[in-house]
Structure 1
Amino acid sequence: DEEEHLPGCLESVSGVVSQIVLVDTGSNDRTVEIAKEHGAEVHEFPWTDDFAAARNVSLQHVRADWVLWLDADEELRPESREPLRALLRDPEAGAAHLCIHNLMGDRTVSFLTTRLWRHHPTVRFRQPIHEQILWSVAPYARRYGRRVVEARDIVIRHYGYQPSVAAKRGKEARNMGLLEKLVHDEPTNAYALFHYASALRETGKLDEALSAFERWEPMAMDEDAGQVHWLRVGFANYAAALNVAERYDDTSRLLARAEEKCGRGASFHYQRALALHRLGKNEAALAQMASAHSAPRDVSASVESVDFQPMLVPMLTAEIYAALGREDEARRLFSEALAVAPDDPSPRVSLARLDIAADELDSAAAHLAAALESQPDAPLTLTTLAQVELYRRNFDEAVVLLRRAAETDGSGEAARLLGEALLITGDTDGAFRVWDEAEQSNAAAAARALVTGADGEGPPLAGLDEAEIDAFWTLVGKIAALCSDADIAGGHLAAQFAGQAAGDATLRADLMRVFLKHRFRPGIDAIRRSD
């Protein structure tokens, strides 16, 4: 069922390939018809929960000397045609790692993977999910004395993991189901368990991911050293999960064990630097990033880490410089990251945030608009642009952007900000509906305290826990910043709350500090009138 993306895929290789082989595993839409219209040979194969099996059927029908592997939701970039033709003329080349740009909403995962090889009966796919061709390409290349080359200038853009596309197709649920079955059927398959643990982490199931990684580590230690190319990525993904869990000491200990098994790797230094950065040890983090630049990098297939995403090194280094207040160096490295990965919104969003901090809102908006051209439903880009519109006091536009972001944002941040924007514009009921639907209880509790306090109903912050109090002060600060000199509903609400807080000296003093910081004149005047 690939009628939406298949035309773009087939048109992207028109005039480049001499044969198109498509294996259909049971489409109910116009996929087969579209394929035939574009001159493809279509072969039917019943779906057996095994991607490698289906792909190997396609190889049985290949008559050409070379094989280029594309999924239906992928396109060969136009600028890649000539480099591809040149590579095919190389008599020493046996296969090539091409550059994949996985568009995933807020980020683009760029990595090298084996997508081009000389057709040979010994070269076949392995593993039912996250299927591999490299494991048979490498022995073939060694046997016949051919090279496996890195072709970074041949780029394939993959759309299937964009939030709107993935949600429509249920890709995450399908992949997770296949991985669960594989891990159950082959409990000693370290490669499968690695991908299962990584998938759990990517879907937010952190405790389950860490448990799976703990089972995986002793299996990884028993793997042959020849598997180091993906073991290194597995250890890096495990370290990433520990960093998300804020278990930074465990990260350090894990990476020490990983280096004993796999040697140094750029991803290991990267994860160490990330842990140090989050602990505020930014000078030490910079030293680790310097080591990441010079550390060995591996090339593998369909695995993700800094080893295959060169953009990540300048990005994290830039974030560390920004934390140290070295803005010029941060901007230079964010721009370097953008040059490496122009499809990735992350560098543009980071540049926009520096612009927002410097009150350069037009420049910020330009960066974000450019980011949305490549990934129009990226939640973080949309929410950051919405914040620019809030600072410009284009509240209606901000609400539209935040509603778009909330449709694909799994973190709940877009919903939290949408509720704040609605509250500021006076749509209190709409704000609470958004927060309730997104289960943003802290934001709802904070706003409820503000509303009831403004009405003079009881002690303003009574009954709030620590997280809700933090959310309250975040909300008050946001209102003070956005409503400082304008006639806006949220500003009236905050000023009314300040007037009702006259009996609480501590609360009044805290409010005054926030209002003075943001020069929120209505709130300052309300407190002074109540003295």
Structure 2
Amino acid sequence: MKTLALVMIVKNEEKHLARCLQSVQPIVDEMVIVDTGSTDRTKDIAYSFGAKVFDFDWINDFSAARNYALMQSMCDWNLVLDADEYVVNDCKSIIRHFIETNERTIGRIRMVNEFVQNSEKRYAQSYLSRLLPKGVTYVGKIHEQVDSPFPRKNVDVEVYHDGYVYANKTERNLQLLLEELKQHPNDDYVLYQVGKQYKLLQQFNMAEKYFEESYHLAPSHAWYRHSLIIDYLYTIIATRSFEKGLQLIEMEQERLNDSPDFHFACGLFYMDAIFCHMDRYAHFFPFIERCFTRCLEIDETEKYDRVRGTGSFLAAYNLGVFYEVTGQVEKAIYFYKQAAHEEYEKAIERLNMLLKP
């Protein structure tokens, strides 16, 4: 029978570590935790779960730390998690079946990232390569990537991550990425990650610069290209670079016609463009309805990384707003009800207002 280890690198994670270890304890055969300099109770918590704990001097290189941790594992397979991540579904039999029936394959688990947008909690879903056969390692100082030619296969393992909400590591990440960019100035993926950090810091002009560079360099088959385009479009909305946005939409609308996130971002783009320059962009008004309707036609897809709701309740709510603003109250109520059925608070509030005697 194949064996499985949890492999982690940690530093000062006493607030999150127990939750993570408790979620995987029934699944794994051993826990390997590499500490990079904790000064709190992190190591004590790890020991209390029976983990093997090792020390590693931090050298500003995530791959070096992860690869050292992987070397300490004695198992056939390794599940790589961070302390602010935790398994939420009953997946022991699923993982066991995967590691018994696959060898030279990388398992991609479903990661759900909690973040805040417009004062609301949102959940972005993506598949990440985290279930690794022994011998597979990482490259890249930060936002490290699995370095393997093995094929990737999705595994029905769902992990939640709330680190974007309760911790701010953006400044640190940005400095490491900029250092890496000095060595590889034309690395499209690093350029994209730099843009993401500036976007998180709400420095949108800088984010737009790096997203634009990455967009022009990234090959059409790049696994992160869809996310890059969505992030780039939201940044363009923030900087109000509407002409650039129109060009981007025209370039990508055929390729991303089956992406709810793309059409959702386009709908918001047209709304902002019209609001800011009614005289110049008023002719795009029907496109708002068209974009959010297309989101609902596609529904919630597993094809792309996505924000939950762009193919369902978020799109329905925005259609409700569109119809309410244009005086089509019955249609507005219909779509508000659709969003409210999925317990979307804003839709419930609008329904209560419209249906009030």
TM-score bucket of the superposed structures, by smaller chain: 0.7 to 0.9
The residue that corresponds to 1:414 in the other structure is none
The residue that corresponds to 2:339 in the other structure is 334
1:3 to partner: Cα distance: 1.2
Distance 1:283 1:256, change over 3 A: closer
CA radius of gyration, larger in: 1
Conserved in 1, the CA contact under 8 Å of 2:264 and 2:291?
A: yes
- Which of 42, 55, 70 is the equivalent residue of 1:44? 55
> What CA distance in whole angstroms lies between the structure 1 residues aligned with 2:299 and 2:88?
30
Q: Which amino acid counterpart does residue 203 of structure 2 have in structure 1?
A: K
- Pairs within 5 Å for 1:502-513: none
> What CA distance in whole angstroms lies between the structure 1 residues aligned with 2:53 and 2:332?
55
The residue that corresponds to 1:172 in the other structure is 170
Distance 1:83 1:352, change over 3 A: farther
Q: Which amino acid counterpart does residue 115 of structure 2 have in structure 1?
A: M
- 1:144-176 Cα deviation digits (max 9, x unpaired): xxx61252xx221212222xx21xxx4122222
| Structure 2 spans left out of the alignment, 5+ residues | 1-11, 276-283, 325-330
> What CA distance in whole angstroms lies between the structure 2 residues aligned with 1:45 and 1:175?
19
Distance 1:271 1:129, change over 3 A: same
Q: Which amino acid counterpart does residue 206 of structure 2 have in structure 1?
A: E
> What CA distance in whole angstroms lies between the structure 2 residues aligned with 1:324 and 1:270?
16
Q: Which amino acid counterpart does residue 288 of structure 2 have in structure 1?
A: A
> What CA distance in whole angstroms lies between the structure 2 residues aligned with 1:205 and 1:83?
42
- Residue 43 of structure 2 corresponds to residue 32 of structure 1: yes
- Which of 16, 19, 22 is the equivalent residue of 1:11? 22
Q: Which amino acid counterpart does residue 55 of structure 1 have in structure 2?
A: R
- 1:280-312 Cα deviation digits (max 9, x unpaired): 75642232344455499786xxxxxx7433422
- Residue 353 of structure 2 corresponds to residue 357 of structure 1: yes
Conserved in 2, the CA contact under 8 Å of 1:232 and 1:258?
A: no
Conserved in 1, the CA contact under 8 Å of 2:337 and 2:351?
A: no
- Which of 150, 155, 168 is the equivalent residue of 1:140? 150
**SS in structure 1 at match of 2:123:** strand
- Residue 137 of structure 2 corresponds to residue 124 of structure 1: yes
> What CA distance in whole angstroms lies between the structure 2 residues aligned with 1:202 and 1:359?
38
Conserved in 1, the CA contact under 8 Å of 2:127 and 2:305?
A: no
- 1:10-64 Cα deviation digits (max 9, x unpaired): 1111221101111111111121121112111112211121212211111112222
> What CA distance in whole angstroms lies between the structure 2 residues aligned with 1:176 and 1:40?
31
Distance 1:349 1:181, change over 3 A: farther
- Residue 265 of structure 2 corresponds to residue 239 of structure 1: no
The residue that corresponds to 1:21 in the other structure is 32
Distance 1:259 1:355, change over 3 A: closer
Q: Which amino acid counterpart does residue 66 of structure 1 have in structure 2?
A: W
- Residue 323 of structure 2 corresponds to residue 324 of structure 1: yes
Identity of aligned residues (%): 23
1:2 to partner: Cα distance: 0.8
Conserved in 2, the CA contact under 8 Å of 1:94 and 1:118?
A: yes
- 1:197-248 Cα deviation digits (max 9, x unpaired): 122122211122222233333323xx3x442x21232122111111222333
- Pairs within 5 Å for 1:265-344: 266=259, 267-278=261-272, 279=274, 283-292=286-295, 293-294=297-298, 307-314=305-312, 315-325=314-324, 326-335=331-340, 338=342
Distance 1:335 1:83, change over 3 A: farther
**SS in structure 2 at match of 1:180:** helix
Distance 1:298 1:77, change over 3 A: closer
> What CA distance in whole angstroms lies between the structure 1 residues aligned with 2:46 and 2:244?
51
The residue that corresponds to 1:205 in the other structure is 203
Taking structure 1 as the reference length, the TM-score comes to 0.55
Query: RMSD of aligned C-alpha atoms?
Result: 3.0
Conserved in 1, the CA contact under 8 Å of 2:24 and 2:87?
A: yes
Q: Which amino acid counterpart does residue 311 of structure 1 have in structure 2?
A: G
1:320 to partner: Cα distance: 2.1
**SS in structure 1 at match of 2:249:** helix
1:82 to partner: Cα distance: 4.8
**SS in structure 1 at match of 2:266:** helix
| Structure 1 spans left out of the alignment, 5+ residues | 142-146, 300-305, 339-346, 361-531
The residue that corresponds to 2:9 in the other structure is none
Instruction: Judging by fraction of residues, say which structure has more strand.
Output: 2
- Which of 191, 194, 197 is the equivalent residue of 1:196? 194
Higher mean alpha-carbon deviation, 96-105 vs 30-39, is at 96-105
> What CA distance in whole angstroms lies between the structure 1 residues aligned with 2:59 and 2:44?
23
- Residue 161 of structure 2 corresponds to residue 158 of structure 1: yes
Conserved in 1, the CA contact under 8 Å of 2:81 and 2:130?
A: no
Q: Which amino acid counterpart does residue 253 of structure 1 have in structure 2?
A: Q
**SS in structure 1 at match of 2:22:** helix
Q: Which amino acid counterpart does residue 42 of structure 1 have in structure 2?
A: V
Distance 1:60 1:173, change over 3 A: same
- Residue 100 of structure 2 corresponds to residue 58 of structure 1: no
- 1:351-393 Cα deviation digits (max 9, x unpaired): 3432553487xxxxxxxxxxxxxxxxxxxxxxxxxxxxxxxxx
1:274 to partner: Cα distance: 2.1
Instruction: Judging by fraction of residues, say which structure has more helix.
Output: 1
**SS in structure 2 at match of 1:114:** strand
Q: Which amino acid counterpart does residue 158 of structure 1 have in structure 2?
A: H
- Residue 127 of structure 2 corresponds to residue 113 of structure 1: yes
